[in-house]
């Protein structure tokens, strides 16, 4: 038993640099820059730090702010769809304006205040009002960007969830989705894929989380640490 425990511990230590995410990672800004320059379409980016099915609030505005500020998105040079931001108040305003209406709303940043809300003026291009389980959803288009805004937290893992609002990710240049790993239908449509290390309740960037109650040295916080003592003890 002792020998097996030590063998397992040694195997973990020896493989410590081999652990990796399911896709190449970078900041969202770098992922968006790469997607903009790429000729692979659609190019999918995971907003992994605010994945609602992993415990994220679903309203972190980090990616939305950078999409809105992107000259390529603003001009319509590239088309992007983003699912989704949880914001019941913004949905209510979109419903009141109706299809084809224009709204100015401050989206996201109300529950998770990592970053402030992002104000957009957008056309209401899609509404879903009759889903009793998932609540109301609005599609808001500004420039080349269509962002889906929801009255309840939800995952957009099926193409039908997007196309019901007239936002088909298969036809977009860039697709941003609040997921970690991609669900099968989204994975299948991706010509290329990056996992953005974004802020939020399930931030995947361990080194920036600010741990203060851990024993050091500890990998990966101390990547050049000496080999630890891996002798097993029976308690």
Q: How many domains does the chain have?
A: 1
Whether the upstream peptide bond of residue 217 has omega within 30° of 0, thus cis, is yes
52 falls within a domain: yes
23 falls within a domain: no
77 falls within a domain: yes
* Average pLDDT over every residue of 80-93: 97
Cα distance between residue 62 and residue 89, in whole Å:
19
- pLDDT score of 43 more than 80: yes
* Average pLDDT over every residue of 6-28: 95
Predicted pLDDT of residue 134: 75
Predicted pLDDT of residue 153: 93
Q: Given the structure tokens 């003026």, which residue do they identify?
A: 121
Q: In which band, very low, low, confident or very high, does the pLDDT at 235 lie, cut at 50, 70 and 90?
A: confident
The mean predicted confidence, pLDDT, of the chain is: 95
Predicted pLDDT of residue 94: 98
Which residue in 179, 174, 143, 204 sits closest to 32, CA to CA?
A: 174
47 falls within a domain: yes
228 falls within a domain: no
158 falls within a domain: yes
Tens of pLDDT, residue by residue over 59-76, are 999 999 999 999 999 999
Tens of pLDDT, residue by residue over 148-167, are 999 999 999 999 999 999 99
Please provide the size of the chain in residues: 235
4 falls within a domain: no
Tens of pLDDT, residue by residue over 123-142, are 999 999 987 767 899 999 99
Predicted pLDDT of residue 131: 76
φ, ψ at 198 (rounded to 5°): -100, 160
- pLDDT score of 28 more than 80: yes
211 falls within a domain: no
Predicted pLDDT of residue 141: 98
Domain hosting residue 96, numbered range = 30-206
Predicted pLDDT of residue 233: 87
pTM for the model stands at 0.92
- pLDDT score of 198 more than 80: yes
């Amino acid at each position: 038993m002792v020998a097996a425990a030590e063998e397992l511990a040694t195997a973990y230590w020896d493989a410590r640099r081999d652990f990796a995410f399911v896709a190449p990672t970078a900041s969202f800004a770098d992922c968006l820059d790469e997607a903009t320059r790429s000729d692979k379409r659609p190019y999918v980016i995971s907003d992994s730090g605010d994945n609602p099915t992993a415990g994220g609030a679903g309203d972190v505005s980090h990616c939305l702010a950078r999409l809105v500020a992107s000259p390529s998105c603003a001009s319509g040079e590239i088309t992007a769809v983003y699912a989704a931001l949880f914001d019941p108040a913004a949905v209510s305003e979109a419903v009141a304006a109706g299809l084809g209406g224009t709204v100015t709303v401050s989206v996201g940043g109300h529950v998770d205040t990592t970053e402030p809300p992002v104000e957009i003026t957008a056309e209401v291009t899609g509404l879903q009002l009759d889903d009793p389980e998932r609540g109301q959803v609005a599609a808001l288009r500004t420039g080349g960007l269509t962002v889906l805004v929801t009255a309840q937290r939800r995952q957009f893992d099926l193409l039908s969830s997007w196309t019901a609002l007239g936002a088909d990710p298969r036809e977009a240049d860039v697709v941003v989705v609040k997921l970690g790993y991609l669900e099968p239908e989204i994975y299948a449509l991706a010509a290329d894929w990056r996992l953005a290390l974004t802020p939020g309740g399930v931030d995947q960037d361990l080194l920036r989380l600010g741990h203060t109650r851990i024993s050091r040295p500890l990998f990966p916080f101390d990547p050049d640490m000496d080999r630890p003592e891996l002798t097993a003890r029976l308690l």
